[in-house]
Amino acid sequence: MAQGSVVQVTHSGTSRWRRRTGEYASLTAALEAAGDGDVLSIAPGTYRENVVVTRAVTLRGPEGARGAVRIAPTEGVALTVRASATVRDLHIEGQDAASPALLVEEGVPEISDVRVATRSAVGIEVRGSARPTVRRCSVDNPGGIGVSVLDGAGGVFEDCEVVAAGQSGVTVRGGARPRLERCRVHHTGGTGVVVTGEASTVEAIGCEVYEVRGSGVQISARATGHFTDCRVHRTVSDGINLDTDAVLTLADCDIHDVPENGVDLRSRSVLTLTRSTVRRFGRNGLSVWDPGTRVDANQCEIHDSTGDYPAVWVSDGAAAVLDSCRVRDVPDALFVLDRGSRADVVDSDITQVRNTAVSVSDGATAQLDDCRIREASTGAWFRDHGSGGTLAGCTIDATTTGVIVTKGADPTVERTTVTSPTEAGFYVSAEGRGTFRSCRVTGSSGYGFHIIDGCRSTLTRCRTERCARGGYEFAEPGPVSEECTSDESATAVAPPQPVPARAAVETVTTTGLLTGVPAARPAAPADAPEPVRARDAGEVLGALDALVGLESVKREVRALTDMIEVGRRRQAAGLKAASVRRHLVFTGSPGTGKTTVARLYGEILHALGVLERGHLVEVSRVDLVGEHIGSTAIRTQEAFERARGGVLFIDEAYALSPEDAGRDFGREAIDTLVKLMEDHRDAVVVIVAGYTAEMQRFLSVNPGVASRFSRTITFGDYGPEELLRIVRQQAEEQEYRLAEGAAEALLKYFTAFPKGPAFGNGRTARQTFEAMVERHAGRVAQLADPDTDDLTLLYPEDLPELP
């Protein structure tokens, strides 16, 4: 053939050369006769040949008719390319389980619009010095690997697809260096993309890996990877797996819908993530193990866990850095375990955490700077000896407990604010230590700082505000406190012996060592007034009726009260009284008045002579569950003793029996409580409370507890009109008035308020009123001479923005 000739190859086994005649017995013969630059245009049909291209020719089928030309030998390699040839519009089939269907060994060929449908060892294999450009090709190989690049080879794969593979979708090894652009790998029997061996690397841009029966991407044995704008999802195992000195960079990637770990790293592997998302994972979003293993995440999101594991797990001496990241809607956010393990979290948001946002244990270290933690059971928990780190400039909002320090842990917490905890801002027990500088607790439903078991923490320039049970509650010998302030006095009931004496910070400023011994109270003068008399049942029921809403709750309490009262009268008449179990289950969302009703219920029972005192002792898991064997029973018994003659109210009782309890001591608290309720059935009324679904689970897994409660009372969410009534009451109590249009604006505001985790029912109404007062103050402060209306009227524009 003359160079540059065009040869028409026919299925009959002959070839027509358009410039001069000549016949060839096969496609192979035509290739042998062709020279560099020749074009072989192949007619439709099936060619049962092992085709080998050794010159820079063009081998093409009919344009736009993929599948019309089939190269399908019965054994061996169907098509081998050993030159910088052009191959396009062909259909390749192989039947040899020991050979690839399409093999590229040398040169820089261009292969486009080729479909490989085979049952070979490999669909497309590139090896040695070959650097092909492969465009718009597909591989369907249910018997083996989809694409394999090995032994120092490279090349570019653009807009290609592995539609099925019996093993891995793409394998890179032996120092190979391919680039994948806009490729898709799916429905593989093994891992989607495997990169292994020193100097092996893959660059992937705009690619997608999904529906694979292994990990989405696996990189190991000193291999590297660079993935940009890629998606890995719907895998059977981990989204991405790194092992043995692997290095991977992910930018603008999305890993989601994986039943195991989003990314799992071990054995000195390094992962860098930028602007990437890990979501809907069954185990850890990021799982980081072993000394030298490290994750650096910047501007990333980890959210929507489908399992019961921490979003980020760092252990066995590994390290993680999260900068400007968001972690949300997970069971736990960050667990750091084992000596040498470290996590650094900077300017990040951790929200909607069902259990613990940050847990540090077994000698690990965590440092959080300028982070925001919201809506978690526990903000940060430093669990045991040697565990520590720093929280600096952080805010922790709407948690059960802001920071817990236990069992010898010794973190430094500075310039950190805990807002609206339900139990305590800072809780230290079981020989925990901790240094707290310039920290603040505001709006706690329990304590500000609750430091028990004689823990020797250090507090400097800390402040508490509006803490319902007291700003500071210490047990001897107590922490060291300097320049700490509080805007209220603690009013907790003094516990009975043998509980250590408590000390409450009651002065505006305290300096020096707080020993834990209560300050001596002056003796009451001789003409001191008598204690306020207890209200009778009618008065207390009137107070119950005055509460906003809760109509079904009021009916339930009245019915129960009537049963008890009639029983008393029957006994007085010498008749048998029906046995009434007084212990109750309260279910419903936060802020629906459960604690208030429990307190009134205790008063009613006292007025009816059922309880000696009728007082309320409110506790939760943190008050009952200890950190070592035996301590839980002691704490539970102490709480029961404090409630003797009254009501023991256990909020979020389901936390005592988590679904995956493991070695949890909550069960010990339950067992102790059940025995005490049986042994002292007339001394204490127990009310357990929590979310409806969680309490149903709690009772179902603890039949011993369920049998001791007479009935469940459900507290429904407040409607917009009821929330408006609460605001009106608040305004009246504080001597404010709603201006014209303000009531209508509030009604619309509460109707539109999202009923998600941030919705607190009555608490939301109170917070809205407080926000209106703050905005009113900012507005009126600018007036030179405000009149009475200016000082009292709240206008629609005083309403805060919806969350």
- Sequence letter at residue 673: L
CB burial of residue 563 (10 Å; 0-12, 13-18, 19+): middle
**Residue of higher predicted confidence among 310 and 3:** 310
* Poorest-pLDDT segment among 111-120, 300-309, 506-515: 506-515
Convert the pLDDT of each residue in 605-619 to its tens digit: 888 778 888 888 888
Convert the pLDDT of each residue in 421-467 to its tens digit: 998 999 998 889 999 999 999 999 989 999 988 898 999 999 999 99
Candidate ranges 300-304, 688-692, 761-765; pick with highest mean pLDDT: 300-304
Convert the pLDDT of each residue in 96-145 to its tens digit: 999 999 999 999 999 999 999 999 999 999 999 999 999 999 999 999 99
Residue 149 has pLDDT above 60, yes or no: yes
Identify whether the C-beta of residue 368 lies closer than 8 Å to the C-beta of residue 391. yes
Distance of alpha carbon 609 from alpha carbon 283, whole angstroms = 53
Local confidence band at 757 (pLDDT 50, 70, 90 cut-offs):
low
pLDDT of residue 91: 96
Residue 18 has pLDDT above 60, yes or no: no
Q: How far is CA 508 from CA 458, 471, 516, in A?
A: 18, 11, 17
pLDDT of residue 577: 64
Classify domain 537-715 at the CATH superfamily level.
P-loop containing nucleotide triphosphate hydrolases (3.40.50.300)
Identify whether the C-beta of residue 754 lies closer than 8 Å to the C-beta of residue 747. no
* Poorest-pLDDT segment among 127-136, 624-633, 741-750: 624-633
pLDDT of residue 600: 86
Distance of alpha carbon 283 from alpha carbon 286, whole angstroms = 9
* Poorest-pLDDT segment among 197-201, 258-262, 796-800: 796-800
Identify whether the C-beta of residue 618 lies closer than 8 Å to the C-beta of residue 647. no
**Residue of higher predicted confidence among 556 and 783:** 783
pLDDT of residue 548: 74
**Half-sphere CA count of 179, side-chain side, radius 13 A:** 10
**Residue of higher predicted confidence among 142 and 750:** 142
pLDDT of residue 13: 42
| Mean of all residue pLDDT scores within the chain | 85
pLDDT of residue 508: 32
Which residues lie below 8 Å from residue 376, measured CB to CB, with a gap of 6+? Answer: 333, 350, 351, 352, 353, 354, 355, 356, 357, 396, 398, 399, 400
pLDDT of residue 543: 75
Q: How far is CA 242 from CA 125, 287, 340, 713, in A?
A: 24, 10, 20, 51
Residue 754 has pLDDT above 50, yes or no: yes
pLDDT of residue 123: 97
Q: What is the mean pLDDT of residues 508-520?
A: 32
**Residue of higher predicted confidence among 295 and 675:** 295
* Poorest-pLDDT segment among 47-61, 341-355, 638-652: 638-652
* Poorest-pLDDT segment among 149-158, 485-494, 634-643: 485-494
3-state SS assignment for residue 396:
strand
Residue 410 has pLDDT above 50, yes or no: yes
Alpha helices of 702-759 — where are they, by DSSP H? Answer: 703-706, 720-733, 742-752
pLDDT of residue 8: 65
The DSSP code for 208 is: E
* Poorest-pLDDT segment among 208-212, 395-399, 716-720, 791-795: 716-720
Number of neighbours of residue 740 by Cβ within 10 angstroms: 9
pLDDT of residue 554: 76
CB burial of residue 33 (10 Å; 0-12, 13-18, 19+): middle
Local confidence band at 40 (pLDDT 50, 70, 90 cut-offs):
very high
3-state SS assignment for residue 373:
strand
**Residue of higher predicted confidence among 667 and 732:** 732
Three-class DSSP labels, 3-50: CCCEEEECCCCCEEECCCCCCCCCHHHHHHHCCCCCEEEECCEEECCC
pLDDT of residue 214: 93
pLDDT of residue 343: 98
pLDDT above 90 coverage of the chain, percent: 52
Distance of alpha carbon 250 from alpha carbon 229, whole angstroms = 8
Convert the pLDDT of each residue in 532-575 to its tens digit: 346 676 777 777 777 777 777 777 777 777 777 777 787 777 77
Identify whether the C-beta of residue 421 lies closer than 8 Å to the C-beta of residue 392. no
Question: What residue segments make up the domains of the chain, in order of their start?
Answer: 1-131, 142-254, 261-393, 400-519, 537-715, 737-798
pLDDT of residue 203: 98
